[in-house]
Chains A and B, each alone.
Chain A
Amino acid sequence: MTAKLTTVRSGALTTVQDAGRPGHAHLGVPRSGALDAPAMRLANRLLGNAVDAAVLETTLTGCALRPDQDVTAVVGGAPCPVTVDGRPAAWGAPVRVPAGSVLDVGAATAGVRSYVAVAGGIAAEPVLGSRSTDLLSGLGPEPLRDGEVVAVGTPAGPVPTPVAAPWPAPPAELVLPVRPGPRADWFTPAALRTFTSAAYRVSPHSNRIGLRTEGPPLERATAGELPSEGMVLGAVQVPPDGRPVLFLHDHPTTGGYPVVAVVPEPALAAAAQAAAGTPVHFTLA
């Protein structure tokens, strides 16, 4: 019998995430997957899981879980207080959670998304090869609800000997390298200078679909509508209000607003941890 986790507190938004479902964009299926993929992989590695075993991704307020059997878990990503039955426990390292005890993942003290990995991985039903919750199109498991029971897979073996793990701190300032294009020519030269020199801030309306920004609008050189075209992960799309939106993992696969530039995938983990109000600078890569 494998373990089950009862959701004692689901938090603001807790979803199951793994490496997502690439390869289906032509069907309108978003990539999905953990927004801070390095955090997911590190948490899994500390438990001896496959690096892209499914984990829980929390949003700002954490969550609380009660296993029906002893389990080992790692909480990483956004730093937060971790307790087991109210007693402080390690963050960023394996924690033993006895059957019936409550693992509480507290509110993030910095950053946005904490990751809860469990030895054996979260065993939700895969859809198109992935267990990820896709908030844009509704594929994969629904976000966790209070009282919901989540299955855990069979651990591959004993949890490895703990090692010092380097968890990067959430960004106090988000510096995003960009490569112009594919539609940089839809913007005025002044707008392109503004884009890579002005101070933007992370908008509170950001989500798994996109990191929205507040700041000076980018003026278009080309009026009219862009026929729908494929969008890459990390695309910086500029909607009619002129404020750049950085596409994250649940982004639509096609879109009709011009993409001024693209942020490379390795830079997106920091974007996933940039809380509302964090200063953003786009810099030419």
Chain B
Amino acid sequence: MTGDGRATHTGALTARTGCLTARPAGRHALLVELPDAERTAAFHAEVLRRRAAGSLPPVAEIVPGARTVLLDGVPDPQALARRIAGWEVPPVADDTGDVVEIPVRYDGPDLADVAALWGVAPEEVGARHGAYTYRVAFCGFAPGFGYLTGLPPRLHVSRRATPRTRVPAGAVALAGPYSAVYPRATPGGWQLIGTMPDPRPLWDPGRERAALLTPGTRVRFVTADGARTAGSANAAAATVGTGPEAGA
């Protein structure tokens, strides 16, 4: 990385401030690296805007990551890197993009553990988790699996020490800075706090927009009808009071 990532007086960041590094990834791809998730989201949005406006050279794949945007299938990556260096990239406004509501029953098997790490009662996990608006930072792991940012750092939890061999479809899960909903049953190591009762909308390749959660989409978790199961209430008794010092 070069430069200081300095923001202009408007808060807008430009590639010229040096906050962007374009790394070659073979003959036909650039991996553009940014200093943080916010500027990655802003750069990704700018790439999509320019493609929609027809001012981006041909790109076969635009794949955001945690701190990067991969531009793959580019005829001349070096020329594109030079162009990108001159872009003005405005920050992403919090209120832009589609909002998808995900109904959740907060009944996951790790609800009590997460409640302990957060220092709240298990019944309060849903209210905390549902208090934020999330954004799909990137997808991966499985088709339609979105990595959602938006949880404040004090609520970040680590993965389980031992991954589960099977996490059911619809599981609402936490790991590090991310929240996610498993579109289908797979092995997985995330902490499971709840269930989306009908996960089928998450991934439907027969639909024009196959994935419900695409990069840039904003997400809210809302309590599903009939939520707050007896299971979560029982789990509460076992772990309330272990306190916020327990981890994370």
Q: A95 → chain B, closest Cβ, in Å?
A: 34
Cβ contact within 8 Å between B27 and A179: yes
Q: Tell me if A197 is interfacial: C-beta within 8 Å of chain B.
A: no
A28 touches B139 (CB 8 A): yes
- Nearest CB in chain A: distance from B32 CB, A: 10
**A168 in the interface, Cβ–Cβ < 8 Å?**
no
16 more A-B residue pairs beyond the given contacts A138-B184, A181-B24, A230-B65, with a C-beta to C-beta distance below 8 A: A23-B61, A29-B143, A29-B210, A127-B205, A179-B24, A182-B31, A227-B66, A227-B67, A228-B140, A230-B70, A232-B26, A254-B65, A254-B139, A255-B140, A259-B25, A262-B27
A19 within 8 A of B: no
What are the 9 closest A-B residue pairs judged by CB atoms, nearest first?
A230-B70, A262-B26, A254-B140, A230-B63, A227-B66, A229-B65, A182-B23, A28-B139, A182-B31
Nearest CB in chain A: distance from B26 CB, A: 3
For chain B, what secondary structure do more than half of its interface residues adopt (helix, strand, loop), or is it mixed?
A: strand
B25–A232 touching, CB < 8 Å: yes
* CB-based contact A181/B23 at 8 Å: yes
Q: Which of B27, B28, B139 contacts A27 (CB 8 A)?
A: B139
Q: Check if A139 sits within 8 Å of B140, measured CB to CB.
A: no
Do the beta carbons of B140 and A253 come within 8 Å of each other? yes
Q: Digit string of A230-251 for contact with B (CB within 8 Å is 1, else 0)?
A: 1110110000000000000000
Interface residues of A in 13-48 (CB under 8 A from B): 22-29
Interface string of A133-162 (1 = CB under 8 A from B): 000011100000000000000000000000
Residues of A within 8 A of B72 (CB): 25, 230, 232
* A232→B67 CA distance, assembly (Å): 16
Distance between B61 CB and nearest chain A CB, rounded to angstroms? 4
Are A254's CB and B23's CB within 8 A? Answer: no
B157-212, CB < 8 A from A: 184, 205, 210-211
B141 with A27: CB separation less than 8 A = no
**Whole-angstrom distance between the Cβ of A135 and the nearest chain B Cβ:** 13
Q: A23-B61, A182-B31 are in contact. Are A229 and B68 (CB under 8 A)?
A: yes
In the complex, whether B145 has a CB less than 8 A from a CB of chain A is: yes
Q: Chain A CB within 10 Å — which of B62, B72, B143, B147 has the most?
A: B143
- Interfacial chain A residues near B141, Cβ < 8 Å: 28, 252, 254
Q: How far is the CA of A139 from the CA of B144 in the complex (A)?
A: 12
Task: Please tell me if the beta carbons of B27 and A229 are within 8 angstroms of each other in the complex.
Answer: no
Q: Give the residue name and chain of the A residue nearest to B23 (CB).
A: A182
Which of A25, A26, A183, A255 has most B Cβ within 10 Å?
A26
A: interface residue count bin: 20 to 34
Is B138 an interface residue when CB atoms closer than 8 A count as contact? Answer: yes
Interface of A is mostly: loop
- A25 near B61 (CB under 8 angstroms)? yes
Residue B56 is within 8 A (CB to CB) of chain A in the complex? no
| Cβ-defined partner of A230 (8 Å) among B69, B147, B184, B210 | B69
Query: A106-138 toward B: CB 8 Å interface, digit per residue (1/0)?
Result: 000000000000000000000110000000011
User: Are B67 and A229 neighbours in the complex by a CB distance under 8 Å?
Assistant: yes
- In the bound complex, residues from chain A placing their C-beta under 8 Å from that of B108 are none
Q: What's the least CB distance linking B67 to chain A, in Å?
A: 5
> B27 touching A264 by the CB < 8 A rule?
yes
Contact residues in B for A264 (Cβ distance below 8 Å) = 26-27
Who on chain B is nearest to A29 by CB? B143
A229 to chain B: which residues have CB within 8 Å? Answer: 31, 65-68, 70
List 10 interface pairs A-B (beta carbons < 8 Å), by A numbering.
Answer: A24-B143, A24-B210, A25-B70, A181-B26, A227-B68, A228-B138, A230-B64, A254-B138, A254-B139, A262-B26
B60 within 8 A of partner (CB): yes
Query: Once the chains are docked, how many angstroms separate the CA of A27 from the CA of B25?
Result: 20
Cβ < 8 Å to A, chain B residues 1-35: 23-29, 31
Q: Are A26 and B139 in contact (CB under 8 A)?
A: yes
A55 to B27, CA, bound (A): 28
A26:B24 contact, CB within 8 angstroms: no
* Residues of B contacting A182 in the complex (Cβ-Cβ under 8 angstroms): 23-25, 31
CB proximity to B under 8 Å, residues A163-191: 179, 181-183
